[in-house]
Amino acid sequence: MEQSQHLLDPDEEFAELSQDCVSHVHEEKYLVFDCTIRKLISLVLCQAKPNCNGKLMGIKKSTIGSLLVVTVKCQFGHIQKLWESQPKHGQKPIGNVLISSAVLLSGSSFSKVCDLFNILKCKSIGKTSHYENQKNYLFPAIDRQWKIEQDSVIENMKKTSVCIAGDGQSDSPGFSAKYCVYSLMDLASRKICSFTVEQVAPPLTSVALEKIGFEKNIEYLLEAGVDIHIIVTDRHTSVRKIMREKYSHIEHQFDVWHLAKSVGNKIITASKSRTGAILAEWVQAIKNHMWWSARTCGEDADELVTRWKSLLYHITNVHEWPTNENYKACLHLPLSPEQIKKKKWLISDSPAMDTLKCIVLNKALLRDLKQITCFCHTGDLEVYHSVCLKYRTKRLHFYIDGMVARTQLAALDHNRNVERLQAMVRNSTTYGDPVGTLRHRVEFSKARKDWVVKNLYEPTSQDFVMDILEDVLRIMHKELATSWESQRSSYPPNIATIPKPDRHELIREHQSRF
């Protein structure tokens, strides 16, 4: 059997042991086992007294969070603190702060990371230390980097009239939301320019939060000197009222995606009846027709409505119709006999057709169609909302400071990666794609119940995380001052609408039921 080779080339250049660390953020860290520490220390001689050089016989370990302090005793009874596993600032181990940073900046939760360390039997920080690190170092550092990013985005927006999109996101599914995060995106750069986190506080309900968040964001941009030409939102009633009464000088457009989704949901509901089952075959086509109508109307509201109504002809296999208007026939190519036979056309006087007419010709819908003439949609804003779920999942509760910081992280992540290019094939693949072509993946869509093609993009950049970590240590070393202040004291401790009862009485009532 051959002898095992050295992992390192003997001729490879070795780094000097006395070399100073350039950055605690960028230097490598290692997971070290107890047995290897003991083995290493057994090779060291006593340094407690000059010229002692006694053999080390005993070891005593103590920890401060993830910091290991090793004290040893030699054969002659000399005791000394031999080694600390990480640098400190004063009495604060830097590794403990970096662990807290890694938890938050990765979008994880302390409880899950704590479980990971416990399973490994690896020493780490406690819950109290983690939340102190967040408050003292992390939240201020994240806030500083977000304000730098926001100022840069707004400065670019000031150069021209802008079109912005806004949408709200609740912190939990259902109707039990505590927070509403309302965000605005500059549609030209696709970057988040402003957001607010609003908390339910009696008498306010979660429904009212979106209106408050929308107004605060708009006022912030206007005060910053941004010339807003168009605002794109969903059809939220309160937002429409604010736009009509307070910002009538700004054009208000509806999001095509939200409107098409609303119509699609109504058709899906109608298709669940016995007489309307055939409508399920046309849901995606009708939504696509709305997109096409908005995109090709030339910003003419009447033309858009005319094109939208034409689907009632097409869906019955009628592709030309008498009218005094310019749009008199479908613009698609003539259908082949096979295509006509394959389609499940509706009968003009059928119950399903009557139901569809009620949806398509609804007066409120026809009125709202006139506000999608600019063909604006918030698809990129929905992508950003997906990024938010990485940092603040709807399944966990965060207090207001944590909600704000995690939203700032999501906005930074999105803004720094929004201009990613589609990945290209660099090596021959199992699918036979030529080198230099754009990369795609094929996956099955549960929503469409069909196979779809999606673009693959270059990996995201996380450079902003390094900037935050550098600021964390600068704040820790008192080299950087920030203006961050906690908002937690400004809000009620909970969102209860009734006074808290006596604890013992409540427990007795609970136990009496069993």
**In 71-172, which residue ranges form alpha helices assigned H by DSSP?**
94-105, 110-120, 127-133, 139-157
Separation of CA 229 from chain center: 27
Helix, strand, coil: what percent of the chain each, to 5?
A: 45, 15, 40
Strand 251-254 and strand 228-233: pairing? parallel
Can you tell me the distance from the alpha carbon of 266 to that of 264, in angstroms, rounded to the nearest whole number? 5
φ, ψ at 349 (rounded to 5°): -110, 25
Counting Cα atoms < 13 Å in the Cβ hemisphere of 186 gives 25
Tell me: cis bond preceding 203? Omega within 30 of 0 counts. yes
Q: At what angle do helices 94-105 and 110-120 cross, to 10 degrees?
A: 120
- Whole-number pLDDT of residue 7: 55
End-to-end Cα spacing for the chain: 71
Give SS3 for 135: helix
Q: Work out the burial of residue 243: count CB atoms within 10 Å of its CB; fewer than 13 is exposed, 13-18 middle, 19 or more buried.
A: buried
DSSP state of 30: -
What is the Cβ-side half-sphere exposure of residue 202, based on CA atoms within 13 angstroms? Answer: 8
Q: Is the pTM of this model over 0.85?
A: yes
| Rounded (10°) angle between helices 400-417 and 94-105 | 70
CA-wise closest residue to 361 among 244, 261, 266, 487:
266
Give the angle subtended at the CA of 189 by the CAs of 184 and 192, to the nearest 5°.
30
**Which residues contact residue 469 at a Cβ distance below 8 angstroms, ignoring those fewer than 6 apart?**
25, 98, 101, 105, 141
The type of residue at 429 is T
> How far apart are the C-alpha atoms of 73 and 54, rounded to whole Å?
9
Exposure string of 291-329, with b = 16+ CB inside 10 Å and e = fewer, is: bbbbeebeeeeebbbbbbbbbbbbbbeeeeeeeeeebee
Q: Report the C-alpha gap between 268 and 288 in whole angstroms.
A: 15
The length of the chain is 514
Which segments within 171-225 are labelled E, that is strand?
A: 179-186, 191-199
CA dist 141 and 401 (Å) reads: 13
Instruction: Round to whole Å and give the CA distance between 297 and 3.
Output: 77
Look at phi and psi of residue 419 and say left if phi exceeds 0, alpha if psi is from -120 to 50, else beta.
alpha
Contacts of 503 (CB under 8 A, 6+ apart): none
In this prediction, residue 175 carries a pLDDT of 67
Per-residue pLDDT of the chain (514 residues; tens, 9 = 90+): 444 444 556 667 777 776 677 788 988 999 999 999 999 999 999 988 888 989 999 999 999 999 999 999 999 999 999 999 999 988 899 999 999 999 999 999 999 999 999 999 999 999 999 999 999 999 999 999 999 999 999 999 999 999 999 999 988 876 678 899 999 999 999 999 999 999 988 777 778 899 999 999 999 999 999 999 999 999 989 999 999 999 999 999 999 999 999 999 999 999 999 888 999 999 999 999 999 999 999 999 999 999 999 999 999 999 998 876 778 899 888 889 999 998 899 998 899 999 999 999 999 999 999 999 999 988 889 999 999 999 999 989 999 999 999 999 999 999 999 988 888 888 876 677 788 788 888 888 887 778 888 888 888 889 999 999 999 999 999 999 999 999 988 887 777 778 888 888 888 888 887 6
Q: What's the one-letter identity of residue 511?
A: Q
Element at 445 (helix H, strand E): strand 440-445
Nearest to 365 by CA among 298, 267, 451, 510: 267
**Strands 179-186 and 191-199, sheet pairing:** antiparallel
Q: Which two tokens stand for residue 409?
A: 């992280």
**pLDDT at residue 15, rounded to an integer:** 75
Contact 496, 506 (CB under 8 A): no
